[in-house]
């Protein structure tokens, strides 16, 4: 359910970004007048597409991975490596959330040139995506640990389909 909601939001952002770019080109080259706000809107949309899209890719197991060596490891080593990977992802998410929040707070009073909205809205994508990644990694680690305690592989089977 969460994946579908994120996909719909990101699809809407992508359609909006393409629409803004198309309208900006029409105005500039056919009407001879540039839209002053198009860059700021496009930047905001692409920022959110990037960071929320990376979180969605994490949820779906769509990031590139090469696990030829991992598959040759013994069961306990694969489980430990999975938990270590989730811990690193959680740490990275926490760093994004912590320092991203500091950026948001630092630039809260600064506004964009044309639209005069707080630049904190641009930076907010970083701590949002970081917090979601951290939470997702912690939940995946907990589920992996429970699977390991039952003698199953730590990584869910559907993630193996995305590996090389």
**Nearest alpha-carbon partner for 133 in 77, 56, 45:** 56
What would the pLDDT profile of 110-156 be if each residue is shown by its tens digit? Answer: 998 999 999 999 999 999 999 999 999 999 999 999 999 999 888 87
How long a stretch of residues is the chain? 164
Residues 82, 155: contact at Cβ < 8 Å?
yes
What would the pLDDT profile of 6-27 be if each residue is shown by its tens digit? Answer: 999 999 999 999 999 999 999 9
Supply the pTM of this predicted model: 0.85
163 — pLDDT class (breaks 50, 70, 90): very low
Separation of alpha carbons 47 and 111, rounded Å: 17
């Amino acid at each position: 359910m969460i994946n579908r909601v994120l996909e719909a939001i990101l699809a809407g952002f992508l359609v909006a970004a393409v629409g803004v770019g198309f309208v900006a080109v029409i105005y500039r080259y056919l009407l001879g007048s540039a839209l002053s706000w198009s860059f700021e809107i496009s930047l905001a949309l692409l920022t959110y597409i990037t960071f929320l899209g990376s979180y969605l890719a994490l949820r779906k197991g769509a990031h590139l991975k090469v696990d030829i060596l991992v598959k040759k490891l013994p069961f306990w080593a694969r489980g430990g490596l999975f938990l270590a990977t989730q811990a690193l992802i959680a740490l990275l998410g926490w760093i994004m959330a912590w320092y991203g929040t500091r950026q948001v707070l630092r630039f809260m009073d600064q506004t964009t040139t044309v639209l005069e909205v707080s630049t904190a809205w641009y930076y907010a994508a970083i701590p949002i995506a970081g917090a979601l990644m951290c939470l997702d990694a912690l939940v995946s680690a907990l589920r992996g640990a429970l699977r390991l305690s039952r003698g199953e592989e730590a990584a869910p089977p559907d993630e193996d389909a995305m590996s090389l």
